[in-house]
Amino acid sequence: MTFDEFNQQMIISLEDICWEIFHGDNATIKVKNPKIGIKKLIKIIEAALKISNEKGFHAMGLRELCKECGMSMGGLYAYIDTKEDLLKIMHDQGRRVLKSLIAQKLIFIDHPQDKLDLAIRLHLFLSEKMQPWFYFSYMETRFFSQDVKKISMSNELYTESIFKEIVEQGCQNNLFKQVDPLFTASIIKAMLQDWYLKRWKYKNRNISVDQYADFVIDWTHSFLNPAS
């Protein structure tokens, strides 16, 4: 699978994401009308990502967010009470999208190496398609409370656990050499994070997401090959 093929198969719009957020279990959203609610959520998230890119979300005030998305304070409070509420919503939804994608695509694949290859591509391609979202969720978390940091850590450990289970399966079936599955998974996760956190570096070197995915996959083949 290439990134172009992924884009054709996986159509993700901000409207779709906001639809899921609105209809999900978000106690802070008090608006009942989905047509209005989804439209406003799109504006709030677009404004938050824009301000985050320009000056940092942690430095943004709610009044500034209101001004950017064209809402009153009262209107904004119908969706979130604090900036942390918005950060939590974005963390939760990012995890839901990744979890749903992984579950759909990996369920019919048996061989651990094929499964690992696809999991790597899916993670990288999704982070490329939703790069501002991934970058925002990772970078802004460190400025907030321990509760928000725990959500971020939980998301990272979740994706790590996907790779850990695949590596464990390969080791148990003697298809991979005997390695520490958790340590291996954490290294793979770090390599994937480097793509969306330092995307500028690879862009300057004319490295595409397909090339990066090929490199990470080649590394796992070399590292996990029982003959090596």
Domain 3-224 class, CATH top level = mainly alpha
Cα gap 35→29, rounded to integer Å: 14
Note whether 40 and 79 are within 8 A (CB).
yes
Q: Give pLDDT tens digits for 23-35.
A: 887 778 888 898 8
Cα gap 14→201, rounded to integer Å: 26
pLDDT of residue 148: 66
Q: Give pLDDT tens digits for 132-175.
A: 777 777 666 666 667 767 766 777 788 899 999 999 999 999 99
Q: What DSSP letter does each residue of 143-199 carry, written as one string?
A: GS-HHHHHHHHHHHHHHHHHHHHHHHHHHHTTSS----HHHHHHHHHHHHHHHHHSH
